[in-house]
Amino acid sequence: MSIFHADKKFERFEDVTPKLLKQEKVKLLLCDLDNTLRLHSEKEPADELADWIEDCRSAGVMVVIISNNGRKKMMQKFCEPLQIPCVWWARKPMRTKLIEAMQDYNFKPSETIMLGDKWSTDVLAAKFAGVRAWKVDHRKKVV
Ligand SMILES: [Mg+2]
């Protein structure tokens, strides 16, 4: 697969279902935060995000946030109620934090996905780390 293409594309993170994760043998889901799991302006996790994280967990999938956002306190505050690890200032497309997460939690690249909205950071970081890149559209407010 070319580095220019995501391995799968979705409209929104909710389309990445527990059933699909099981089918694809995903154990570790590395997720971008801004414009992937939330609108940039959201201060607290939306209900649909909390539900989705819970669904992933029930499907036996670990979710870890890997964000380029450098606002550590804001990131910690956002991720705390979700009870998932979060990495800030990840400097994607560098692969360092993706590799570290796989090592820290003991997962192989073959059972890992990087989910994000940007080719130049998320998709490339996935390719450099040797994991599958799944792309969502830049998140929009649902009206
Ligand atoms: Mg993003």
Q: Which residues contact 3 (CB under 8 A, 6 or more apart)?
A: 123, 124, 127
What pTM does this model have? Answer: 0.95
Q: What is the pLDDT of residue 19?
A: 95
Q: Which CATH number is correct for 8-136, 3.30.2420.10, 3.90.226.10, 3.40.50.300, 3.40.50.1000?
A: 3.40.50.1000
Q: What is the tens place of the pLDDT at every residue in 40-71?
A: 878 999 999 999 999 999 999 999 999 999 99
Ligand 1 centre from 6 Cα, in Å?
14
CA distance 73 to 28: 24
Nearest CA-CA partner of 42 in 83, 82, 8 = 82
Ligand 1 centre from 94 Cα, in Å?
15
Q: What is the pLDDT of residue 40?
A: 81
| DSSP-derived secondary structure for 97-130 | HHHHHHHHHT--GGGEEEEES-IIIIIHHHHHHT
Q: What is the pLDDT of residue 52?
A: 97
Question: Count of CB atoms within 10 A of residue 142's CB?
Answer: 9
Token pair listed for 86:
């979060």
Ligand 1 centre from 118 Cα, in Å?
6
Token pair listed for 12:
């929104």
What are the backbone dihedrals phi and psi of residue 108, each rounded to the nearest 5 degrees, phi first? -90, 155
Ligand 1 centre from 67 Cα, in Å?
8
Ligand 1 centre from 116 Cα, in Å?
6
Ligand 1 centre from 23 Cα, in Å?
25
CA distance 50 to 57: 11
Q: Looking at the predicted structure, is the pLDDT value of residue 21 above 70? A: yes
Ligand 1 centre from 60 Cα, in Å?
24
Biggest alpha carbon distance in the chain? 40
